[in-house]
Structure 1
Amino acid sequence: MSIYQLICTIISFILNSFLVWLILARSPKLTGKYKWLMLYTTCFEIFWGLFDLPAEIIAHSVGCAFIVFRVNHPDSLLTSDNSSWIVLIYTAIFGASMALFASHFVYRYGSIATNFGEKYTSGCKFSILFFIPIITGMWWSTVVRVWFWPNTQMDDYTRNLIMETVGVGIENISYIGAKFYNQEKRNLTSHFNTPAWIGVAQMWFMVISSMGCVFGFGALCYLRLAKQLSIASNAANNLQVQLFYALVMQTAIPLFLMHMPITVYFLCPMLDLDFDFASSFVASTIALYPAIDPLPNILIIKNYRNATIQLFRSLLCRPKNKYRTNQTSTIHNNGPRSFSQTIN
């Protein structure tokens, strides 16, 4: 357990717990059912951070193979079989995170495109959005269990790597992993390891589908919001803009800290490249992700930002300004109507 990972876990727990309180206590009424999807994501990130710390998962790629493992210490409470399940659950959580924000963008588009919302995200159909990450996580872990489970070929190929990395034998770890190529010693040729490619193809499909939903529905949201704001500016639209930009920023964080590093992590062994920096980078960014992902919601959504400022004022014993004034401005449209907006 590294100090870095411990710090990330503590920050993640504090910020996400604070965001849970903000969502439950300070969400605008116009947020509607979306606050439950926000709460779902926040609780997921709390669980992710708390699970990641004791799991002590290590990821490495070497040559044409990748391996994700944890060391079975002699004084551990878990048997090696139970430890294998920890690795499997870890991969399921990671897989679920790939689809988490796709659900958000689908709902956000449904909330501003009423025809789409009534057809796909209203009523009991709203609950489907909560099951998409769960189904993706189950599929991801099934792929791992079927195609990336330990075998003698992987044992032989990664034995030296494990000894150099953590100083224990291959029999003292629980791992999942795969080789993308099998080498023949006689003529020094290599050929595709079919199970590994079948497994990684399914993972690529899940990642690309998730990203397709994020970018596709994100673009549709932006175009629809731009059209609405050109017609009128009101409290509902302002909240929609805040939620949209918070979601964009909240999605950009796992995109850069998880999706892109894991892409490099998979591509290196697929191209038979030894790029050890990718391994250490993936471990660092995955630990950092739940620690900073709550910040966009806290800082961008006005009600949450004001509540945070009030909390800091209270902690610093600084009273609020008694003589706070409201400034009113009038927004004129190209059309025949004009709209008044109060700027706090």
Structure 2
Amino acid sequence: MFTYGSGYFMIIDVKKRGIPPEVAVFFMKVLCGCFGVTIYGIAIHFVYRFFALERKGKLKYFEINYLALWFVIPVVGGFSWYITIEIFFESGSGSLETEYLRNMFNKSNLNFADFASIGGVYYSTNNSVNWRSISGYSCFVSIMVIAFIIIVVAGWKSWKIVSKLLEHGESDFSRKLQMQLYKALVAQTIIPITLLFIPFGVLFTIPLFNIDWQILNRIIVWIFAFYPVIDPLPIIYFVDYYRIPVIGLLNFFREKSLTKAYRRVQVQNQPDWCREKLFGEHCSKLEKIQYTSIFNKKKF
């Protein structure tokens, strides 16, 4: 995914992967639709958190009778994104987008036939406005803005509730827990805004001004790929109920690894007459085989 001049594109090397261009284009459109699913899934998560903090019985809307509706909303968001690409962004031979990209490939000495692509171009080579791509851009922005407003409003209202709880906590334990949740809430509001909405919004907007921002081109795909890993980190880091068990688990594996390493060094430093005794008292059959292999190598 990258910008070039007044256009933005997603390409895939079909020759290297050995797949038909039509199949590659379809899966690229599905991948783009997943972005719509992602942002509306995040928005619903914020709504759920707000209902939980509000404590006015609205969590009943997330029970089984209404649950299907909440799953449908992200699917609709993803389908809307997919349909926008299908309607407003052509990828066939002879289209403005294809010819624009072909010129770029020719300048780079690449064979255009080896790649499949989708994308939009805001201005043609004679600087006339491509209203088709402009309309698609408007749809993208509208889809993103709706999800963005839901996240900001739900996040702001949740922040107000947590702030009041901090002022009127019933105990030190309650106050400490609410502070942890407050920090996690702030972080989890900032992360999707800075890693999803701003980068993709900039990606779709800067071609309007014929700006090539190569740094963004390099990182935006990685941002989208690693976002699911980054998103839960604030909860794990700020909230004791998650952080302490995770640290304990990591320490357990660390100590286990160090113990095995210590035993290996301890056995290697023993004279030959006591190694068999150490094997019998402390080691499994597999470890005996491993240690015996190490000693035989040392002898030779």
Which residue in 2 is equivalent to 1:266? 204
For 1:204-259, what per-residue CA distance to the aligned partner results, in whole angstroms no more than 9, with x for missing partners?
01111111111111111111222233333367776565445434323422322222
For 1:285-334, what per-residue CA distance to the aligned partner results, in whole angstroms no more than 9, with x for missing partners?
3344334333212212322211112112212328xxxxxxxxxxxxxxxx
Contact 1:109 1:117 survives alignment (8 Å):
no
The correspondence for 1:253, drawn from 188, 191, 198, is 191
Contact 1:88 1:144 survives alignment (8 Å):
yes
Distance 1:104 1:118 in 2: 12
| Amino acid in the other structure paired with 2:49 | R
Which residue in 2 is equivalent to 1:109? 50
Distance 1:237 1:93, change over 3 A: farther
User: Aligned pair count?
Assistant: 253
Which residue in 1 is equivalent to 2:124? 182
Distance 1:69 1:303, change over 3 A: same
Identical counterparts, % of pairs: 23
The correspondence for 2:255, drawn from 297, 317, 334, is 317
Distance 1:126 1:226, change over 3 A: farther
Distance 2:197 2:100 in 1: 27
Which residue in 2 is equivalent to 1:223? 160
Distance 1:92 1:244 in 2: 32
**3-state SS of the aligned residue for 1:66?**
strand
| Amino acid in the other structure paired with 1:210 | A
Distance 1:244 1:103, change over 3 A: farther
| Amino acid in the other structure paired with 1:60 | F
TM-score for both structures, normalised by structure 2: 0.74
Distance 2:203 2:49 in 1: 31
| Amino acid in the other structure paired with 1:227 | K
Q: Does residue 98 of the first structure (1) align with residue 39 of the second (2)?
A: yes
Distance 1:259 1:61 in 2: 17
Which residue in 2 is equivalent to 1:275? 213
Runs (5+) with no aligned partner, structure 2:
257-300
User: What displacement does 1:283 show?
Assistant: 3.1
**3-state SS of the aligned residue for 2:144?**
helix
Which residue in 2 is equivalent to 1:33? none
Q: Does residue 199 of the first structure (1) align with residue 136 of the second (2)?
A: yes
Contact 2:34 2:78 survives alignment (8 Å):
yes
Q: 1:68-87 residue pairs with structure 2 within 5 A?
A: 68-73=10-15, 76-87=17-28
| Amino acid in the other structure paired with 1:254 | P
User: What displacement does 1:100 show?
Assistant: 2.4
Which residue in 2 is equivalent to 1:154? 97
Which residue in 1 is equivalent to 2:268? none
Distance 1:133 1:64, change over 3 A: same
Which residue in 1 is equivalent to 2:78? 137
Distance 1:122 1:233 in 2: 29
**3-state SS of the aligned residue for 2:170?**
coil
User: What displacement does 1:180 show?
Assistant: 1.0
Q: Does residue 172 of the first structure (1) align with residue 114 of the second (2)?
A: yes
Task: Give 1 or 2 for the bigger CA radius of gyration.
Answer: 2
TM-score for both structures, normalised by structure 1: 0.66
Distance 1:295 1:146 in 2: 38
Distance 1:161 1:284, change over 3 A: farther
| Amino acid in the other structure paired with 2:151 | V
What root-mean-square deviation, in Å, do the aligned CA atoms of Structure 1 and Structure 2 show?
A: 2.6
**3-state SS of the aligned residue for 2:90?**
coil
Distance 1:306 1:220 in 2: 29
| Amino acid in the other structure paired with 1:99 | Y
Distance 1:240 1:123, change over 3 A: farther
Distance 1:195 1:132, change over 3 A: same
User: What displacement does 1:140 show?
Assistant: 0.6
Task: Identify, as 1 or 2, the structure richer in helix.
Answer: 2
Task: Identify, as 1 or 2, the structure richer in strand.
Answer: 1
Which residue in 2 is equivalent to 1:15? none
User: What displacement does 1:122 show?
Assistant: 4.8
